[in-house]
Amino acid sequence: MNETLEDVTTIFTDFLAKKNLRMTNQRNLILKMFLSTEKHVSSDDLYSLIRKQDNTIGQATVYRTLKLLAEAEIATIVEFGDGVARYEHIYLHQHHDHLICEGCNIHIEVVDDDIERLQVRLAKKYGFTLTSHKMYLYGKCEKCQNISSL
Amino acid sequence: MNETLEDVTTIFTDFLAKKNLRMTNQRNLILKMFLSTEKHVSSDDLYSLIRKQDNTIGQATVYRTLKLLAEAEIATIVEFGDGVARYEHIYLHQHHDHLICEGCNIHIEVVDDDIERLQVRLAKKYGFTLTSHKMYLYGKCEKCQNISSL
DNA sequence: CTTTTTATTGTAAAATCTTATCAATATATT
DNA sequence: AATATATTGATAAGATTTTACAATAAAAAG
Ligand SMILES: [Zn+2]
Ligand SMILES: [Zn+2]
Ligand SMILES: [Zn+2]
Ligand SMILES: [Zn+2]
């Protein structure tokens, strides 16, 4: 996907309008900051980032806006199992899954077209139409394999 | 996998011994109740179940024991995104992934051997050895597809 | 069998993350 | 302008999980 910030802002504004909600300065700033980050930010991460530009913004507003962004399908939730909801953007960033090293904790974004195809097939086998999926692969990276074999 | 309750209890006891921990009545009961449940129980679910048999047990003990069971690889965490950690047993239950209907919320356990194979291949491509994975497929079941098209 | 050491438990407090409440403010509609 | 509606920030409340700690139980040592 190659949307610009303006495109995504329009998408969000339209989404809001459809629900009788308004595009505000706060929502605008939050969206802008969110899109400018790479990968997995928690609401709190984003709140800290935004405070640097505008320290009047409220924590709850960030929570609320991220929920809206997820509803608008501009953001998706990623859960790494520590009880914190993290978000990443879909627009400006295409779908991917996560490969995670249990040793050093690095996260690599991956996609395998064959798997993506088979997921649709698998869902269809049960009469489902697939709208999305999440896949997390856990293992050890090259470096950590060597360390643990010492 | 076809382990019996006794087998799994032994596995857990051994795991504990290796860490200088002890098999206690509480841990034994929690394990037994956990294995007797089907699928996704939260710590609180399990706590309620156990209280019926022994109302002296503490909530924290259930949390602690489930953590240990996960560490011992007898249980795995399943996260459905509502902020609650749920557990399911690996022993007595083989690996599977989850197909979830966004309409009626039913959960179907699925496995696709081709996908499982490709996951290993994908990880290898990045120099990773794979130890586990989680895959959640979200969509609409047959019934819910029809409902939403009315 | 004691005594001593170590681990475990239950209770309750604390920590974390998220949501709800509400009066004040900003935005849209009339 | 006046009115209605939505939004905000602060704060309280909720929910889930972890931690602290004294009392208890289990294991090890004597
Ligand atoms: Zn994918
Ligand atoms: Zn690594
Ligand atoms: Zn699988
Ligand atoms: Zn359904």
pLDDT digit string (tens) for B2-53? 578 888 999 999 999 999 999 999 999 999 999 988 778 999 999 999 999 9
pLDDT band for B121, please (50, 70, 90 cuts): very high
**B-chain residues within 8 Å CB-CB of A102?**
131
For residues A100-117, give the mean pLDDT.
90
d(CA A67, CA B90): 33
Q: Is B74 helix (H, G, I), strand (E, B) or coil?
A: coil
Angle between helices A59-71 and A25-36 (to 10 degrees): 70
d(CA B3, CA B88): 15
- Choice between B108 and A92, residue whose per-residue pLDDT is larger: B108
Residue B149 has pLDDT above 60, yes or no: no
Residue B77 has pLDDT above 80, yes or no: yes
Share of chain B above pLDDT 90, in %: 64
Domain boundary assignment for chain A: 5-89, 97-148
Mean pLDDT estimate for chain A: 90
pTM: 0.71
For residues A110-114, give the mean pLDDT.
94
Backbone angles phi, psi at B30, to 5 degrees: -60, -45
**In CATH terms, is domain A97-148 a member of 3.30.1490.190?**
yes
Determine which of A42, A71, A90, A122 to mutate to test the interface with B (most B C-beta atoms within 10 Å). Answer: A122
Q: Is B92 helix (H, G, I), strand (E, B) or coil?
A: coil
d(CA B129, CA A98): 14
Mean pLDDT estimate for chain B: 89
Does the beta-carbon distance from A138 to B145 stay under 8 Å? no
pLDDT at residue B65 in the model: 97
Residue A1 has pLDDT above 70, yes or no: no
DSSP state of A141: -
- Choice between A81 and B26, residue whose per-residue pLDDT is larger: B26
Residue A103 has pLDDT above 90, yes or no: no
pLDDT at residue A34 in the model: 95
pLDDT at residue B89 in the model: 87
**In CATH terms, is domain B5-89 a member of 1.10.10.10?**
yes
CB contact residues (below 8 A), chain B span 73-132, against chain A: 77, 79, 81, 83, 85, 99, 101-102, 108, 110, 112, 114-115, 118-119, 121-123, 126-132
- Planar angle of CA B114, B117, B118, nearest 5 degrees: 85
Contact call for residues B85 and B43 (beta carbons, < 8 A): yes
Q: Is the CB atom of residue A18 positioned under 7 angstroms from any atom of strand C?
A: no
Does the beta-carbon distance from B142 to A128 stay under 8 Å? yes
For residues A80-101, give the mean pLDDT.
84
